[in-house]
């Protein structure tokens, strides 16, 4: 993502959260006020960090609305609706670091075994969606920073999806995606 667009995206995340603090609702946006690239249907994740620790992360994996609308809604949700955290406070808002991930269209991976899947993974590049039945989990490529080992990455993703670390089944489906990332304060 071009630097000028990253700056604009990060400003919109901050503006959305600030609006949410004051109005307790999602910032309304007129998509016609934004460049055409922001009107395309894209999926986004917004990740918030406070003093180096995760403070919220919400997003979508499949594009279903204009890029800027998805971003603003996910910024609000990451700050106020992530079930792992209480709603963000004004004091915390002033210390946040923002990360925007723009998700590519996920593609199905073909593999014959867990080892085959592991051999295909690209640490630091691949985001994964693991699904079996109604259980599903995803890790953004940034998770490789905490889990750089392929086996650990996959095992923790299985656990996030609700399975045991050593679980494997021929019914598991995995999709791979990439991200463009913007980071800032």
For the chain, list the domains and their CATH numbers: 3-103 (3.30.700.20), 107-178 (3.30.1490.150)
Distance of alpha carbon 36 from the chain centroid: 22
**What local confidence, expressed as pLDDT, does residue 139 receive?**
96
pLDDT of residue 99: 93
Residue 37 has pLDDT above 70, yes or no: yes
Question: Which is higher by pLDDT, 65 or 1?
Answer: 65
pLDDT band of residue 9 (cuts 50, 70, 90) is very high
Phi, psi of 135 (to 5 degrees): -90, 140
Q: Residue 170 CA to chain centroid, in angstroms?
A: 27
């Amino acid at each position: 993502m071009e630097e000028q667009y990253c700056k604009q995206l990060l400003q919109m995340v901050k503006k959305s959260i600030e609006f949410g603090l004051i109005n307790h609702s999602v910032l309304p946006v007129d998509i016609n006020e934004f460049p055409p690239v922001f009107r395309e249907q894209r999926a986004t994740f917004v990740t918030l960090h406070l003093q180096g620790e995760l403070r919220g992360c919400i997003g979508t994996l499949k594009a279903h609305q204009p890029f800027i609308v998805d971003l603003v809604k996910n910024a609000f949700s990451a700050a106020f609706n992530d079930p792992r955290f209480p709603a963000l406070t004004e004091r915390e808002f002033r210390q946040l670091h923002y990360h925007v991930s723009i998700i590519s269209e996920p593609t199905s991976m073909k593999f014959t075994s867990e080892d085959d899947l592991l051999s295909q993974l690209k640490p630091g590049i691949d985001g994964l969606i693991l699904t079996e039945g109604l259980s599903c989990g995803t890790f953004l490529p940034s998770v490789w920073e905490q889990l750089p080992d392929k086996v650990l990455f996959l095992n923790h993703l299985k656990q996030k999806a609700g399975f045991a670390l050593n679980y494997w089944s021929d019914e598991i489906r995995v999709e791979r995606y990439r991200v463009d990332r913007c980071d800032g304060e």
